[in-house]
Amino acid sequence: MKIALAGNPNSGKTTLFNAITGKTEYVGNWPGVTVEKREADLNRKYRKIFPEGRVVDLPGAYSIAPYTSEEAITSDFVVNEHPDVIINIVDASSLERSLYFTTQLLELGIPVVVALNKQDLVKRYGNEINIDGLSKALQCRIVPIIANEGVGLKELIKAAAEAAKEGKKQPAPEFEGKGTEDEKYARQKYVKELTNKYLKRNRDPSQITLSDKIDRIVAHPVAGLIIFAVVMWAVYAFSIEGLGGYLSEYFNETLFGEIIPEAANNFFESIGLHPLLHSLIVEGAIAGVGAVVGFLPLIMVLFFCLGLLEDSGYMARVAVVMDRYLKKIGLSGRSIIPMIVGSGCSVPGVMSTRTIEDVNEKRMTTMLTPYIPCGAKLPIIALFAAVFFPESSLVAPSMYLVAFIVIAIGGLFLRKIFGWKSTSVFIIELPEYKLPSVKHAFRHMIKHAKAFIIKASTIILVMNTFVWFTQAYGWNLQMVEDSSGSILASIGNVIAPLLIPLGFSKWQPAAAAFTGFVAKENVVSTLAITIAASSEEVLSLPGGVLTQFFTPVTAYAFLVFNLFTPPCFAAIGAMYTELVERKWLLRALAFQFSVGYLLAMLVTQIGTIILYGKLATGFVAACIILILYAIVIYYLIKRTSSGKIQFSTVTR
């Protein structure tokens, strides 16, 4: 039996979905978080009431006639796949708007149960809804619920089970003017009458509230930008340098630096394990995975903080603040949503670009979203900040500032190169602020921690084994005395010369950057295996073994290189899905690679001159490359502005 969850954006569908299935899908207190349909069985508690119930969570829609592509998913599903029952989640604090969609759902003939959500807000406003009356008028079951507190869910599932079992055709609402050309006006009138009849408003919604007063500061063009910068700095400083950093230090230096390797060494020696296997496990698996998992506390603290922020309703305001600035580079406030999601992981971030209708804006956002450092890039940032800049709480958060600057400049270039014009208009619903739920933030944290551990124990473990073997063996499949004769070193040495102008031309960093394309955490684990495992030190020690490979300037350049070249394979796959055409994927990758390379080169070359008063190696090569870049960009822009090639296809 299929239960479809349908309703307006930000009405609480995914919150309800998670509550009745036990899943932990991404929820944010802002519209447009769900962009794909998701399915799961009811959890045990509710299966007793509704056996074989399978729930489909649909993206939010304001109407059956789709405006955005995720609205289309919703209407396609309810129209074509005939769920056995539709649970229509209605935001009771915005009843009139929600009922418009409800009346359309009632016309499909599929049994509908209305879940009247956000009863707490209704009470707070002092409003009253005559549920029995409305239920009779619409001829469907209505159950009042508070999804995020779990209130009324049993009754809701019971009602859905009854409706599905009866299997009676849902009677459509009758109103004057139905079937005529002006049906939508007639429907609106009908909905308005219903609302006036069954909703007693004891609050004038157009009154200025506390929430509005907060918005005037938080969404203000200048103050809002400063607040956003401070909030982001606080979150990342707290995660990387504060509590998260403190715990990670213990994990890295004590737990994975001493306790676990020593215990493993003693254990393997006592059972007389083959030295080769012993070395693979301790120097490959434990050193590599440990170097990544050591950053787990930091990831957890970050996602806890982001969870609190998301739940508060603040993120919708960030979109408003950023809208006017993003307009200048051809984007809009819509583009900030994928970027915020991308601060967790670029894959869902890139996927949520499908809420953007303007095709050029969507392409640009797809190319730029991976520049927001994701959770997997955090260990790289934290590692280099700890080793090279232990005194500064600014270096790690500065990567996010750099990311925004790169997005702005990169966006400008993309626009020039492809001759894009901004056509989009921006509108976003502003949910009322609420006290963020610690439970929600905690779930958010656990979900990401789990994903992180799973990734570390699968893909990263496999890569580590590969890295360990290739750095321990030569091409003749004999173990090498010195890893400089290994397979990995010879691969790294092929790439390394290309990195000379960037300031890190040894094979180890080259190999690390290379494995980073599989998953960004691999950068840390590869450095751990190739550099730290042979020394007795922990990789993340301030002023430790990494300083033999980087100066602070080239360390920063290496960070920039890893952050602003193309993301991992999974994110590249997501980009391909959203960009659709192969040629656009290739353009995106070329763009991202050029930006990362150029930026790292500039950091090294300019930084070395300013800070050390000398020319970095590869200065001449860097100058030549810079000139080539300038020529190519000039040519591309000229080609577009002369109108020979029309790249943009304006959708509307």
Partner 1 sequence: MNMPLAKAKVGQRAIIKSISGNEKIRNFLFTLGCCEGEEITLISALGGNYIVNIKDSRYAIDKRMANAIELVEAG
Q: Judge contact between 2 and 54, C-beta under 8 A.
A: yes
If the CB atoms of residues 14 and 75 are measured against partner 1, the closer one turns out to be: 75
If the CB atoms of residues 319 and 499 are measured against partner 1, the closer one turns out to be: 319
Give min distance, CB of 354 to partner 1, in A: 16
Give min distance, CB of 195 to partner 1, in A: 9
State how far the Cα of 228 lies from the Cα of 217, in Å rounded to an integer.
Answer: 11
Give min distance, CB of 461 to partner 1, in A: 46
Q: Judge contact between 133 and 189, C-beta under 8 A.
A: no
Give min distance, CB of 580 to partner 1, in A: 21
State how far the Cα of 106 lies from the Cα of 102, in Å rounded to an integer.
Answer: 6
Q: Judge contact between 42 and 153, C-beta under 8 A.
A: no
State how far the Cα of 557 lies from the Cα of 542, in Å rounded to an integer.
Answer: 18
Give min distance, CB of 148 to partner 1, in A: 18
Q: Locate all alpha helices (DSSP H) within 483-551, ordered by sequence.
A: 487-495, 507-515, 521-527
State how far the Cα of 161 lies from the Cα of 169, in Å rounded to an integer.
Answer: 15
If the CB atoms of residues 185 and 635 are measured against partner 1, the closer one turns out to be: 185
If the CB atoms of residues 324 and 443 are measured against partner 1, the closer one turns out to be: 324
If the CB atoms of residues 381 and 428 are measured against partner 1, the closer one turns out to be: 428
If the CB atoms of residues 165 and 192 are measured against partner 1, the closer one turns out to be: 192
Does the CA dihedral 581-587-591-593 come out positive or negative?
positive
If the CB atoms of residues 215 and 521 are measured against partner 1, the closer one turns out to be: 215
Locate 501 and state its tokens. Answer: 């102008």
Give min distance, CB of 228 to partner 1, in A: 14
Give min distance, CB of 652 to partner 1, in A: 6
**Residue ranges binding partner 1 (CB under 8 A):** 62-63, 65, 67, 93-97, 100-101, 184, 188, 205-206, 208, 211-212, 215-216, 219-221, 224, 316-317, 319-320, 323-324, 327, 332-333, 425-430, 432, 652
CA angle 332/334/337 to nearest 5° reads 130
89 φ, ψ (degrees, to nearest 5)? -85, 120
Give min distance, CB of 366 to partner 1, in A: 22
State how far the Cα of 212 lies from the Cα of 220, in Å rounded to an integer.
Answer: 11
CA angle 634/635/638 to nearest 5° reads 85
Rounded alpha-carbon distances, angstroms, from residue 300 to 23, 303, 324, 395: 19, 5, 32, 20
Give min distance, CB of 71 to partner 1, in A: 9
State how far the Cα of 591 lies from the Cα of 583, in Å rounded to an integer.
Answer: 12
Partners of 87 in the beta sheet? 5, 113
Residue corresponding to tokens 């998701």: 38
State how far the Cα of 193 lies from the Cα of 190, in Å rounded to an integer.
Answer: 5
CA within 13 Å, CB half, 59: 23
If the CB atoms of residues 62 and 303 are measured against partner 1, the closer one turns out to be: 62
Rounded alpha-carbon distances, angstroms, from residue 648 to 294, 365, 420, 640, 643: 46, 15, 6, 10, 11
Give min distance, CB of 313 to partner 1, in A: 10
Give min distance, CB of 320 to partner 1, in A: 4
Does the CA dihedral 278-283-378-249 come out positive or negative?
positive
If the CB atoms of residues 245 and 313 are measured against partner 1, the closer one turns out to be: 313
Residue type, 168: K
Kindly report the length of the chain.
652
Give min distance, CB of 318 to partner 1, in A: 11
Residue 580's region, left for phi above 0, alpha for psi from -120 to 50, else beta, is left
Residue corresponding to tokens 């401070």: 230
